[in-house]
Every structure is written in structure tokens, then in C-alpha cells.
Amino acid sequence: MHIARELFIRILAGAAVLWAAASLAFAVLQLFPSDPVQVIYGADSSVTPELRAAIRADFGLDQPVLVQYQRFVTRIAQGDLGISYQQRRTVASIIGSEIGSTLTLASLAVLAAVAMAFLASLLTAGRPGLLRRALSSFELLSVSTPVLWVGILLLTFFSFQWQLFPVVADAGWRSLVLPVATLSIAVFGSLSQVMREEMDRALEQPFILTARTRGLSEWAIRWKHALGHALIPAITISTETFGGLLAGSIVTEQVFGRPGLGRITLEAITNHDIPVVMGIVLFVAFVFVALNILADLLYRLVDPRLRVSSR
């Protein structure tokens, strides 16, 4: 029962953050008003005042600010993110048609990065040496190299010079290899740094000494006892690197010409299609809040100590 109650409180708090985010977005839009007529017709001066008024009324822009705000919050709460100025489709359907591509890229990249970071921690935690120094240099490079440049390098050499992978984005799994590699290299660095640090700390704990005296092999100790401890910061950092992952996806999609969240965001920014920009911003905030709640649940799964203390 306790877990259900805590979850309920967390969801309520998450909803409050989202409401505040939506209100903030609304306030910002009042400060920087955008004109749908301008976006749809450009500088075309033949738009009659009647047509202009009709279009503005269509988007509810003729209403007083308070009414607009009330409608805005009501429809956001119902999952309605509004209608694009440019495409005359709902923002939700625009996001829905592109999100699959981003999700595939991002989840594969996270899986690859977590697997690499696990391996790196297993091999090098608590062991000073050449391999560890090489890996930490690679981690430094990974967090300091522009994602777009990693993508361009991979594209230049693996696609153009050696022609190992296709340049086009729609050639099955082979066209996913380089984008996933690009994004996972970017995520790997920060993940691996934190995980190894945590495993270093775990290996100094008394229970490891106990396991050693029981005659467990070095690998068994690392695999069974220390790895679990590395999982906890991995969950934290995964939610924290969500921002990096999202930014990385946008850039990676652009480098490899893939469809996805990046493409629609850039299109919307270039066309001043503000409802789409705001819709995506709110959608991203929603995903972030949801991930944080999920991470809280995962902590309990991974760390038995939390389950005990919550009773």
C-alpha cells in the first residue's frame, strides 16, 4: 500500500511540474506573440482583414488572455497539444508519426551505451592500469567531442571512404548502425565515469571482503556483488542524461538525414510554427517527468534497502 501511495504522490507532483511548465510556456508565448496569419501566408499582403480575423479566431487568439489560458490548460490536460499553423494537423499527430524513429534510435543507443559501460566497469573498477587509463581517456573524449562531429567522422570513413554502411537512412538495420554508434559513444562517457566510480567504492566495502574470505573468485565478486551497486547511479544518470540523449538524437538525426523529433523541431523553428515548438517542448517535459517517476520505481527494484525502509 505504501508504494501505491508514494507513487500517487509522485504522480501528483509530476502533474504539478507539468502544469507549471505549461503555464510558463503560455506566459512566454504572451511575451513573444506569434501570428498564424504571418506563418501561413508569409508576407502576402492580399490577406483581407476579415480573413485575418477568421484565422485568428480559428486558433482562439481573439479571446481574452484568461479564457485563452483556461482553454490552453484544459486541452493540454486532455493530451491535446494544439494545431500546427503550417501543416493544419494536430501537433500530437505530428509528434506521433515521427517519435517512433527517435525512440528506436535512442533506445538502441542507450542499450549499447549501458552494455559498454557495464563491461568497462567490470573490467577496470578497482584495478589501476593501462586499460583503465585508456578507458578514462576515451570517456573524456566521449564527453568532450561534439556529437555531430562523431557522426560526420563515422559517415566520412565508414560510409564514404570504406563503404561499409549505407549513406541513406532507409536501408533497414544497416542504416541504423552508424547513428546508434554515434549516439551511444556520446552517452557512454558520462555513464561509464559514474558507474566505475560507484563500483570502485562498492569494492572497498566490508561485504566484498566477506565475499573474498568465502573464497569467491574475483569475477564472481564483481558480477554478483559489486555490479548491483553500479546500477543505482546508472539509473540516476540515465534520467539525467536524458537531456543529452535527446539533444544527441536531434543532432544525430540531422547528420544522418533520419526522420524524427529533430526534423520536426527544426522545421517548426524555421517556419515559426510556434504551436508545434511548444507542443514538442511540453511533450519532452512530460517524458522527462515520467522518466523520473519510473527511475524512482526502479531504485526500489534494484536496491532492496529502499524496500525495507519504506515499510
Partner 1 sequence: MNPSSSELIDPAAKSPARPLSAWRRIPIGVVLATFVVAFLVLCALFPTLIAPKDPYQLSLLHSLRAPSPEFPFGTDQLGRDIFSRVVHGASYSLSIGIGATLIAVTVGLLVGLIAGSAGGAVDLAFMRIIDVLLAFPALFMSMAVVALIGKGSMNVLLAIAIAEIPRYARIVRSQVLVVRQSGYVEAALILGQRRSVTLIKHVLPNTIGPLIVLSTLGIGSAILSSAALSYLGLGPKPPTPEWGLMLAEGQGYLRKAWWIGVFPGIFATLTVVSTTILGRYLKALSDGRA
Q: Are 187 and 113 in contact (CB under 8 A)?
A: yes
Q: How far is the CB of 28 from partner 1 (least distance, A)?
A: 7
204 or 218, CB closer to partner 1?
204
Q: Are 283 and 82 in contact (CB under 8 A)?
A: no
Task: State the Cα–Cα distance between residues 297 and 283, nearest whole angstrom.
Answer: 21
Q: How far is the CB of 288 from partner 1 (least distance, A)?
A: 5
231 or 273, CB closer to partner 1?
273
Q: How far is the CB of 62 from partner 1 (least distance, A)?
A: 22
Q: How far is the CB of 22 from partner 1 (least distance, A)?
A: 10
Task: State the Cα–Cα distance between residues 256 and 203, nearest whole angstrom.
Answer: 41
> What residue ranges bind partner 1 (CB under 8 A)?
17-18, 20-21, 24, 28, 32, 140-141, 143-149, 152-153, 155-157, 160-161, 242-244, 246-247, 250-251, 254-255, 265-266, 268-270, 272, 274, 277-278, 281, 284-285, 288-289
156 or 210, CB closer to partner 1?
156
Q: Are 250 and 265 in contact (CB under 8 A)?
A: yes
- Partnered with residue 90 across adjacent β-strands are 83
100 or 146, CB closer to partner 1?
146
Give exposure, 152-183, as e/b (b: 16+ Cβ within 10 Å).
eebbeebbeeeeebeeeeeeeeebbebbbbbb
Residue 106's contacts (CB-CB under 8 Å, 6 or more residues apart) are 183, 245, 246, 249
101 or 231, CB closer to partner 1?
101
Q: How far is the CB of 236 from partner 1 (least distance, A)?
A: 14
Task: State the Cα–Cα distance between residues 225 and 215, nearest whole angstrom.
Answer: 13
Q: How far is the CB of 212 from partner 1 (least distance, A)?
A: 28
146 or 304, CB closer to partner 1?
146
* Rounded-to-10 torsion of CA 145, 148, 152, 153: 10
